[in-house]
Amino acid sequence: MLRNYLKIALRNLAKHKVNTAINMAGLAIGMACCLLIVLYVTDELSYDRHWSNGDRIYRMALERIYPGRSTRYAIIPPSYAQSVKKEIPEIEQTTRVFTFGNNQQPTLIKLDGRTLEEKGFLAVDSTFFQVFQIPLLRGQADKVLSRPNTVVLTESTARRLFGNANPIGKMFEVIQGPKLEVTGICPDPTHNAHFTFNFLSSTRGFPLAEQLNHISFAAHTYLLLRPNTRPEAVEAKLPTVVEKYAAGEVERTFGVSYPDYVKAGNGYFYFLQPLPAIHLDSHLEAEYQPNGSRSLVSIFSIIAAFVLLIACINFMNLATARSSERAREVGIRKSLGSTKQQLAGQFLTESVLLSLASLLVAGVLVSALLTPFNTLASKSLTVSSLVRWETLPLLIGGAVAVGLLAGSYPAGVLSAFEPIKVLKGRFSSTKQGHWLRNGLVVFQFAISVLLIVSTIVVFSQLNFIQQKELGFTKESVVTVKSAFFLGNNTEAFKQEIAKLSGIASVGGTSSAPGEEGFFGITFRKNGDNETVTGKGCAVDEQYLQTMQMTMLAGRPFSRQFNDSLSVILNEEAAWQLGMSNPIGKQITSPDNFTQQDGPPITYTVVGIVRNFHFGSLHQHISPLFILNDRIFRRTDNQVAIRVRADNPSAVVSQVEQVWKRYLPDQPFHYSYLAADWSDLYKSEQVAQRIFGLFAMLAIFIACMGLLGLAMYVIRLRTKEIGIRKVLGASTPGLVALLSKDFLKLVLIAIVIASPIAWYVMNRWLQEFAYKIDIEWWMFAVAGLLAVGIAVLTVSFQSIKAALTNPITSLRSE
């Protein structure tokens, strides 16, 4: 019987080539979309699930509570690694990771007389390999980082630096850093971890790692819990540890008792993060790199299911559109003794075969589209993760399930025809079938409208981000990276390039807007115990002018004054300090940048700058304290250059020539501030592109289904159309008559989709501190697009039917 089913199914599919091609195209496109999103979602969900003991590793994170607000940090004070292990027996081991800024920024090293640029430097405790259990290719895990100035290289890094020679015992020098001895080699880390590295240097002998510190944040700290330990049990003991070790440091630093400090609205709330949850759920300050978004993963998963479901509905509508062609076949088969179940089996066999063939086509499409999709989604996905022995049964089983789902309704409709009626040419759709087909079309277009609205909202939010007044002018600003290598030549370099034609102004800073380099700093106004913690940066006298920031009161830094202990506040810092007119007033910070463990420093407020966005629009503007770079001996991390030339690349070339005169062996790195700012919203840009792509595909597949339904309905109304033409109906009137019912379905879909789209996108917008309002015109544009596309789709068949000779229409029945 199965052999007979297969033979007849293949004959029918081959006989109706156009219909088979349309059905296969819809299913193949739906499956390809689904497979691409499955690849993306699987990759996002795979982060940090490869560690052998990952279920016992937790990152200790901090919610720092300030008066009236709080901030959550991925880094915590370094000394807690030892303190919690000592006080909490459920903790088996701890380890710390220091990044010293962005570990993906280039670091310069000297090796055999060569100056090389390398990325991925981390400093870790000697217990790192005990916690993460990375197998070493060379060296012993408990010894490789037990001495100061030792380093473990990844396999590819060792090969790149030393070729095939044994690198153990070899030395290289970090420019403006120590000489490091290679003591171990480890495998390259996988991409699906929330941190990656090429160099792991020892924290032994590093002052920041070894000094007693329970209140200043610096280290990513990981805890390996003992087997069968509940993380809640460890979290419950953390407040006791905090009070025991932080109280004394708070009193020494802020001059108040710990209970008074807490009563004033301050506090430290530590919590544990499961390792596999960090990539999608953790969006804290001082993350290694921007993490993924669980909401986007969920949205894309739903889109994949909906696109595939739309393709199945499309198949159903096209199959029922051909019901009249197969009615006589059903009548003859039933007259010869075929049962309803046998006929349903025949039609389901056809749909499953078509689905399996569509899976093959979808595989080809995925292979062809994977490279552009990787560019679209900023990923490095491969087909190999799909084509594996363990996944093939899932793929085939999924295709069979899709075939059964898509073919279930047509098989039920066709196998239910009564043989006497269909052989006499009398058959019609049931009321239930009519409602179901219309419901399927409404569902298809509702999903399409939802995707269109989502695309419009994402595009509008990104446009808002790009156009919003930031408090500075990001256009025409070139940022020279790693300017600290200039050392004492920083001032001479800035003065020389300021004389170049095409340069309007030059300023130095410790960190540019949009970067993680803004350091944490705490202030209190003199005579007040209440503290304000915010972000800090150090700039020279020309930086605010170069960035075209606005002074609201006071003055910028000036060489005419001794501004080494002066500070400029943003509006938010002045407001939180409770200083309505702070110019000339003094504020004190316990953070001493001139002397380790030195006394608090008192600064004089010389100006207030208008609030500007120094972080992404995901966060509200926080207090900012701008120091003069004289406190750092004029060594700026970056130099900002405002160019006025129409050809900035030519200006950059001149700046590079000046750089080479000062640092001939060190590469010249620069970027455009506008491009750097745009990079802050990569995940949103990915969402916009993916929403747009799948919205177009969903509409395309939905229109194929609508076309099938139009063919079916017009076929049923052939006699009616002929009679109307005989009685004088015009072609435009017939087209309007045939189209209006379909437009009603699309309008219903718009009404259903609009509130859902508003709810979903409003939830997404909550991730931004500064966001657009969802307006009526977004739904109007989506609705007009859906209606316009539906009209074009249906009009083709309607016009064709209206132009048919009525004699032919009447004779057909």
Statement: residue 295 has pLDDT above 70: yes
Parallel/antiparallel/unpaired status of strands 179-186 and 121-124: unpaired
Beta strands in 276-353 (DSSP E): none
Residue 617: partners with Cβ closer than 8 Å, 6 or more residues away: 465, 468, 768, 769, 770, 771
Statement: residue 479 has pLDDT above 50: yes
- What is the enclosing helix (H) or strand (E) of 89? none
Give the range among 418-432, 523-537, 541-555, 625-639 with minimum mean pLDDT: 418-432
pLDDT > 70: percent of the chain: 86
Residue 391: partners with Cβ closer than 8 Å, 6 or more residues away: 385
Statement: residue 811 has pLDDT above 70: no
Vertex 554, ends 551 and 558: CA angle to 5°? 90
Is there a contact between 631 and 593 (Cβ–Cβ < 8 Å)?
yes
Statement: residue 103 has pLDDT above 50: no
Residue 394: CB atoms within 10 Å: 12
More confident residue, 609 or 395: 609
**Strand, helix or coil at 461?**
helix
Give the range among 112-126, 344-358, 419-433, 732-746 with minimum mean pLDDT: 419-433
pLDDT category, 323, cuts 50, 70, 90?
low
Per-residue model confidence (pLDDT) at position 640: 93
Statement: residue 327 has pLDDT above 80: no
> Could you tell me the CA-to-CA distances from 532 to 162, 367, 413, 489, 521 in Å, in that order?
49, 55, 72, 35, 9
- DSSP for 190-237, written as a single string: PSSSS---SEEEE-TT-HHHHS--SSS--BEEEEEEPTT--HHHHHHH
More confident residue, 430 or 411: 411
Q: What is the mean pLDDT of residues 419-432?
A: 55
Q: What is the mean pLDDT of residues 615-641?
A: 81
Per-residue model confidence (pLDDT) at position 382: 82
Q: What is the mean pLDDT of residues 263-286?
A: 88
Say if residue 461 is exposed, middle or buried (CB neighbours under 10 Å; 0-12, 13-18, 19+). Answer: buried
> Could you tell me the CA-to-CA distances from 758 to 47, 359, 446, 753 in Å, in that order?
31, 34, 13, 9
Statement: residue 771 has pLDDT above 90: no
pLDDT category, 272, cuts 50, 70, 90?
very high
Per-residue model confidence (pLDDT) at position 710: 74
pLDDT category, 542, cuts 50, 70, 90?
very high
Is there a contact between 262 and 529 (Cβ–Cβ < 8 Å)?
no
- DSSP for 684-702, written as a single string: HHHHHHHHHHHHHHHHHHH
pLDDT category, 277, cuts 50, 70, 90?
very high
State the pTM of this model.
0.78
Give the range among 208-212, 488-492, 747-751 with minimum mean pLDDT: 208-212
Statement: residue 430 has pLDDT above 60: no
Give the range among 91-95, 440-444, 628-632 with minimum mean pLDDT: 628-632
Q: What is the mean pLDDT of residues 346-367?
A: 83
Statement: residue 584 has pLDDT above 80: yes
Give the range among 94-98, 327-331, 445-449 with minimum mean pLDDT: 327-331
CA 640 to chain centre: 28
- Mean pLDDT, the chain, as a whole number? 82
Statement: residue 208 has pLDDT above 60: yes
Per-residue model confidence (pLDDT) at position 497: 92
Q: What is the mean pLDDT of residues 136-145?
A: 90
Distance CA 139, CA 153 (A): 11
**Residue environment code for 494-509, b if the CB has 16+ CB neighbours within 10 A, otherwise e:** bebbeebebbebbbbb
Statement: residue 102 has pLDDT above 60: no
